[in-house]
Structure 1
Amino acid sequence: MIRVALFVCPQTVCSSLATADDAFRLANQLAGEPLFQVQRFSRDGRAVDIGMAEVRVDGDLALAERADLVLLTATGPGVEKTLAANQALLPWLAARPDTQQLASLCSSAFLLAASGRLDGRRATTHWALAPAFRKRYPQVRLDADAMLTEDGNLFCSGGAQAGLDLCLHLIGWHAGDWLAQRVASAMVFDMQRGLQSRFAPLLPAAGGDDPQISPLLLWLQRNLAEPLDVDALATRAHCSSRTLLRRFKASTGLTPNAYLQRLRISAAQIALRNPARSLEQVAAQVGYADRATFAKLFKQLCGETPGAFRRRLRTPESP
């Protein structure tokens, strides 16, 4: 029997804990035998208040030391608070033998990295936390595009539902892909969902309320199919082209051209949901004269072709 220990702390995300617990217990049910012994642990062995509920645990760190797999469930976006509150856990994680599997879901990759266990190793976390992770742990080989990573006995997953991707991967690792697929089917979940990066928004949030740039962004949204002319945009913003480029980059983090391309592809993602429109029509609607240019940029930004994107959204009810 594979012993799985789920870590619980006050910062634990309830849905992440429940998803992991459900996945392994469902694997036992579908296999018809107890392949996984699932237990919860806290640092001191006491029940933990996670906000929505008080979670009972089966033991403390000593229990987890006997586990085959220690899984750190997600702890939410408050990384600084989580690290400060769990400093005592870090030396324990650092001391885990290489034969014991360690896995993090979403933001808990920060705990693994803070312990030093991810130094020089491949890892992932929620795409929105990637910049902060890279800055804090440059020694870790972060792959923010990946839904999950495996490096020896170290496993990490991306954001939210990617935690289920990792749990299914671990079920398959220990009990076979056939069981992982059965669990996925029972949970109405697609395996092999591609890159995490395709869920990240293409357009960045504006970095401030620039009185010259904000109205310009609104105008671009309404006229995204128009050819880009930086001089014309500068005139509209009542400034020089040089000033426009500087302030546009400060506000959005992108050049006007890069922003427009992302704006167009974002609009294309919406248009592709209508099966009645051909790819050529969608391309023209968002400002591209030919399908090839549109398809190349779409794949560059979204990680898949427009056709693959449309097929993934297709349901049996679609015309």
Structure 2
Amino acid sequence: MLHISLYVCPQTVVSSLSQAHDCFGLANHLAGEPLFRLSRCSRDGQAVQLPYARIDVDGDLTLAESADLLLLPATGSDIARTLTDNQTLLDWLARRPASQSLASLCSSAFLLAEAGQLDDGTATTHWALASQFRQRYPRVRLQVQHLHCQHQQRFTSGGAQAGLDLCLHLISQHAGPWLAEQAAAALVVDRQRGEQTRFQPLLPTPRQDDPALLDLLRWLQRRHAESIDLETLAARLHCSTRTLLRRFKAATGLTPNDYLQRLRIVAAQSALRQPQQSLEQIALSVGYQDRATFARLFKQLCGETPGAYRRRVLAP
């Protein structure tokens, strides 16, 4: 029997904790025998008050020392607060031997990385936290496109529902693919869900401190299918092309051309949800003169071809 201890702290996301607990509990039920022993632990062995529930635990970190796997449910997006408030856990994690399995869901990859447990290995986390993670932990090879990663006995998952993908992966490793498939079917989820990056919004949220640039973005949204050059955009902003590039990058993190291509692909995604138009017609309608260029950019940004995207979103 695999002993899995789930760590609970004031930052723990209730849905992430219950998701993991329910997934392994379901596997036990489907197997007809207790393949996974589940326990909950906290820093001091005391119950933890969360926004929506008071979580009782079975012990402190001493309990986790005897576990085959310590699993850290998601801890939200306030990374600085999570790291500051969980120093006892970080010190404890830093002492964990390579033989003990450690896993994190979503943002809790920061806890494993802060303790040095992901150094020189691969990991993933929520796509929205990728830039912050890379800056803080250059020794970790972040593969944010993946829903979950494994490096030796260290496991990490992407954002939110990707935690379920990792739990199913752990079930498959310990109890076999058949049980993982049965659990996935009972949970009504697909085990082959592609890459996390396809859930990432293509268009960034622009900064709000440049009203004229925001007006330009709205104009671009209406005219994305037209042929637009830097000079045209600079004229509308009443500035030089050099100033345009600087202000555009500051507001969106992208060049005008990158932003325009993303606008077109977002429009194409919407059109692909309607079965009436051919791929050639959609390519033309969003601003591309040939299907090959459209298909190449679509796959580059979305991680799948336009045809694959259409089949997936129109599947019954």
Both proteins in one fold, TM over 0.5: yes
Match of residue 89 from structure 1: 89
Equivalent position SS for 2:3: strand
Q: Percent of pairs identical after alignment? A: 65
Specify the code of the residue in structure 2 equivalent to 1:130. Answer: A
Specify the code of the residue in structure 2 equivalent to 1:46. Answer: Q
d(CA) in 1 for partners of 2:94, 2:162: 25
Q: Deviations over 1:127-177 (max 9, x none)?
A: 111111111111111111111100000000010000000000000010001
Q: Which moved more, 1:240-249 or 1:127-136?
A: 240-249
Match of residue 202 from structure 1: 202
d(CA) in 1 for partners of 2:308, 2:86: 42
d(CA) in 2 for partners of 1:107, 1:248: 30
Equivalent position SS for 2:37: strand
Match of residue 128 from structure 2: 128
Equivalent position SS for 1:88: helix
Match of residue 141 from structure 2: 141
Specify the code of the residue in structure 1 equivalent to 2:174. Answer: H
Structure 1 runs (4+) deviating above 6 angstroms are: none
Find out whether 1:259 has 2:259 as its counterpart. Answer: yes
Alignment of 1:127-206 (within 5 A): 127-206=127-206
Match of residue 100 from structure 2: 100
Q: Which moved more, 1:211-220 or 1:234-243?
A: 234-243
Find out whether 1:218 has 2:218 as its counterpart. Answer: yes
Alignment of 1:20-39 (within 5 A): 20-39=20-39
Q: Deviations over 1:33-79 (max 9, x none)?
A: 11111111111111101110000111111111111111000000011
d(CA) in 2 for partners of 1:84, 1:284: 52
Q: Deviations over 1:178-207 (max 9, x none)?
A: 111110110000112111111111111112
d(CA) in 2 for partners of 1:51, 1:101: 29
Q: For this pair of structures, how many residues does the alignment match?
A: 316
Q: How far apart are residue 315 of structure 1 and its match?
A: 3.0
d(CA) in 1 for partners of 2:154, 2:229: 49
d(CA) in 2 for partners of 1:63, 1:244: 58
d(CA) in 1 for partners of 2:114, 2:56: 26
Q: Deviations over 1:86-125 (max 9, x none)?
A: 0011121111122211000011001101111111111111
Match of residue 291 from structure 1: 291
Specify the code of the residue in structure 2 equivalent to 1:90. Answer: L
Q: Deviations over 1:198-240 (max 9, x none)?
A: 1111111112331321111001001110012211111122222
Match of residue 114 from structure 2: 114
Match of residue 4 from structure 2: 4
Alignment of 1:296-315 (within 5 A): 296-315=296-315
Find out whether 1:280 has 2:250 as its counterpart. Answer: no
Q: Which moved more, 1:112-121 or 1:200-209?
A: 200-209
Q: Which moved more, 1:179-188 or 1:59-68?
A: 59-68
Equivalent position SS for 1:280: helix
Specify the code of the residue in structure 1 equivalent to 2:105. Answer: L
Specify the code of the residue in structure 2 equivalent to 1:144. Answer: V
Equivalent position SS for 1:166: helix
d(CA) in 2 for partners of 1:64, 1:241: 59
d(CA) in 2 for partners of 1:239, 1:61: 60
Alignment of 1:213-252 (within 5 A): 213-252=213-252
Q: Deviations over 1:7-45 (max 9, x none)?
A: 100100000001000000000011111111111111111
Find out whether 1:42 has 2:42 as its counterpart. Answer: yes
Gaps (5+ residues) in structure 2? none
d(CA) in 2 for partners of 1:225, 1:51: 47
Q: Deviations over 1:257-306 (max 9, x none)?
A: 11100111011111111122211121111111111110000000111101
d(CA) in 2 for partners of 1:234, 1:115: 48
Q: Which moved more, 1:93-102 or 1:157-166?
A: 93-102
d(CA) in 2 for partners of 1:117, 1:244: 43
d(CA) in 2 for partners of 1:245, 1:9: 45
d(CA) in 2 for partners of 1:129, 1:255: 21
Equivalent position SS for 2:40: strand
Equivalent position SS for 1:212: helix
TM-score by length of 2: 0.98
Specify the code of the residue in structure 2 equivalent to 1:76. Answer: G
Equivalent position SS for 1:207: coil
d(CA) in 1 for partners of 2:80, 2:126: 15
